[in-house]
Chains A and B, each alone.
Chain A
Amino acid sequence: MGVALGAGLAVSIAGLGGGIGMGAAGGKAFEAIARQPEVGGDVRTLLFITLAFIETLTIYGLLIAFMLVGKIQ
């Protein structure tokens, strides 16, 4: 039971943090593009890289969840 709870908590807490971070990054990027549409391409590339880095942390949580699910009898 504890293992199952742990798996759920791992992915949900990781998702929570990643979601907040991605929201902040995406919102700021949209503001920047709306203010200066000519830098849209650069901002988009940087946004993708940033989101990928944030996402990695969430995926680490998912990975731990998979490992824990493998341990449930």
Chain B
Amino acid sequence: MLFGMLDEVFFYLGPIPVDHIIVTEWVIIALIALISYFATRDMQMIPRGLQNAFEMIIIWTYEFFTQLMDKEHVAKKWAPLLTGFFLFILLSNYSGLIPGAGHISGFQPPTSNWNVTMTLALITFFSVHIAGFSEHGIHYLGHFVSPSPLMLPLNLVEEIAHPLSLTVRLFGNIFGEEMVIAFLLFLAPFIVPGAIMGLSLLLGAIQAIVFTILSASYIAAATGEGH
């Protein structure tokens, strides 16, 4: 049960076991896709309703990432991925707060599973290097020996440490929060866990923001000038 091993396999998709985490992820992806589809179904020159809200979010994220990364074309290129991270992690974190979560089998935030956060961190890892190569070409390799070739092992360790810390941070926070809520539910079933649940609303949003900002700053470091 610990560290998100597969516990309840629903069915097999070829060699891949499909458990409740994967189904929850599918539901979240479908939800985001459906809302985006309805928001952009018939776009108007003068936006109204959902389209208006989406345009506001997109302009806001573009401005935010441009300010964070200093280069507008890099920010434009990577903002969709980073915003996707944010929405997915936010909805995953909040999916543990739906009434019935914990009682009905298969309601568990996907981000409280080690494998899911590792996957997200690996996507960041590869996009950082893809961003670096597409920005600097082969000169990007020079960034690994940046102050002097002596620093090569340290730089490599740093590259491994980035996805590892992203994984552990998101997993530890959400899993720890779930454990605290479960324990409080066991001690005092009414009202008391509500306080922690309110706190975890804030925590889920902050963790989503932190993952997004850190990914953005790693991409900014890989595409930036100098080192």
Contact = CB atoms under 8 A, between A and B. Distances in A.
B153 interface: no
B114 to A, nearest CB: 10
A56 B2 contact: no
B213 A56 contact: no
B209 A63 contact: no
B68 interface: yes
A48 B209 contact: yes
Contacts of B176: 59, 62
Interface residues of B, number: 16
A49 B217 CA distance: 9
Given A48-B213, A62-B172, A70-B2, A56 B165 contact: yes
Contacts of B175: 66
Nearest to B179: A66
Nearest to B164: A56
Interface string B162-195: 0001001100110110000000000000000000
Interface residues of A, number: 14
A41 B3 CA distance: 36
Interface string A29-73: 000000000000000010011011101100110110010001000
Interface in B192-227: 206, 209-210, 213-214, 217
Given A62-B176, A66-B2, A49 B169 contact: no
B68 A56 contact: no
25 contacts: A48-B206, A48-B209, A48-B210, A49-B214, A49-B217, A51-B210, A52-B169, A52-B210, A52-B213, A52-B214, A53-B165, A55-B169, A55-B173, A56-B165, A56-B168, A56-B169, A59-B168, A59-B173, A59-B176, A60-B168, A62-B172, A62-B176, A63-B168, A66-B2, A66-B3
Interface of A: 45, 48-49, 51-53, 55-56, 59-60, 62-63, 66, 70
